[in-house]
Amino acid sequence: MNHQPRKRFGQNFLNDNLVIDRIIEFVNPQPAEIIIEVGPGLGALTLPLLERVDSLQVIEIDRDLIAKLQQRKNPKLTIHEADVLNINWPELAQDSPLRIVGNLPYNIGTPLLLNLLEARGCIADIHVMLQKEVVDRLCASVGSRAYGRLSVLMQSCFNVHELFIVPPSAFTPPPKVQSAVVRLTPLPTSPDKETVKKLSVATRMAFANKRKTLRNNLKEVLPETRIVEAGLNPQARAETLNLDQFLTLAKMLP
């Protein structure tokens, strides 16, 4: 590989063709779709995607990698030189829902997912590789160890489905942890913007200290009486509340 991987950009390049093929099969790209790849890197997913689609947009932050991609002079490829966390998703979508694909740099996985949650109105689906631990949190059910803010927020608006696990040996350099590919599809109906904002606040506060009760974690924003009015036990801990209960709680917020 004629590129020194940069740790600060989370560069763990896929080297396993079976894993690459599996991701492409799960994405199943169709020629006319608007597909956005986050972090194309050296092109492990980019090249097979380009074989299947009429056009592909990629977002890459590393100028050296952008230069390599430009050398390919592929007329189907549009390169956005940008930090994906600053992308204006609705502007990219221009009325056609986006399909988002990527082997994500692990340091920005969670903030990117939260950005995509806000932009869910212009998203068709998301297929991304993340640390297995983050995928566990995305898919976690109430009461499980991995259940937390990310589970509640993302599951309030997306159907979340772990597709398969990927070992460190599939990457160069190998990361220290297991990875997994996950698919997120917006739910046909999801809470309105205002409710999701409140859910974001409610979950941030409720999970702030996992050992504390709802009453203690929420006391700055919600008196105990309001928690009772919501039909919830103020002595309960956040990890025992399911999505519907969190939504009820969120709607109680001023």
- In the DSSP assignment, the letter for residue 113 is H
In the complex with ligand SAM, the residue whose CB is nearer, 59 or 247, is: 59
19 binds ligand SAM (CB under 6 A): no
Q: What minimum distance in Å lies between the beta carbon of 197 and ligand SAM?
A: 24
Q: What minimum distance in Å lies between the beta carbon of 153 and ligand SAM?
A: 21
What distance in Å separates the CA atoms of residue 63 and residue 70, rounded to the nearest whole number? 10
Closest residue to ligand SAM, judged by C-beta, is: 39
Contacting ligand SAM (CB under 6 A), which of 45, 50, 69, 100? 45
Contacting ligand SAM (CB under 6 A), which of 56, 65, 122, 247? 65
Residue type, 177: V
**Do the bridges between strand 179-186 and strand 123-131 make them parallel or antiparallel, or are there none, so unpaired?**
antiparallel
Binding to ligand SAM, residues 99-128 (CB under 6 A): 103, 105, 108
Report the run of H or E that residue 35 belongs to, with start and end: strand 34-38
Q: What minimum distance in Å lies between the beta carbon of 44 and ligand SAM?
A: 4
What distance in Å separates the CA atoms of residue 26 and residue 110, rounded to the nearest whole number? 22
Binding to ligand SAM, residues 161-180 (CB under 6 A): none
40 binds ligand SAM (CB under 6 A): yes
In the complex with ligand SAM, the residue whose CB is nearer, 59 or 138, is: 59
29 binds ligand SAM (CB under 6 A): no
Contacting ligand SAM (CB under 6 A), which of 36, 49, 50, 84? 84
In the complex with ligand SAM, the residue whose CB is nearer, 41 or 148, is: 41
61 binds ligand SAM (CB under 6 A): yes
Alpha helices in the chain (DSSP H): 17-27, 46-52, 63-71, 89-93, 109-118, 132-139, 149-157, 193-206, 214-218, 224-229, 243-252
What distance in Å separates the CA atoms of residue 107 and residue 58, rounded to the nearest whole number? 19
| Count of residues that interact with ligand SAM, criterion CB under 6 A | 23
DSSP string of 40-57, one letter each residue: -TTSTTHHHHHHH-S-EE
How far does Cα 28 stand from its chain's mean position?
A: 19
41 binds ligand SAM (CB under 6 A): yes
Report which of 133, 238, 219 is spatially closest to residue 176, judged by C-alpha positions.
133
Interface residue list for ligand SAM (CB under 6 A): 9-14, 39-42, 44-45, 59-62, 65, 83-85, 103, 105, 108
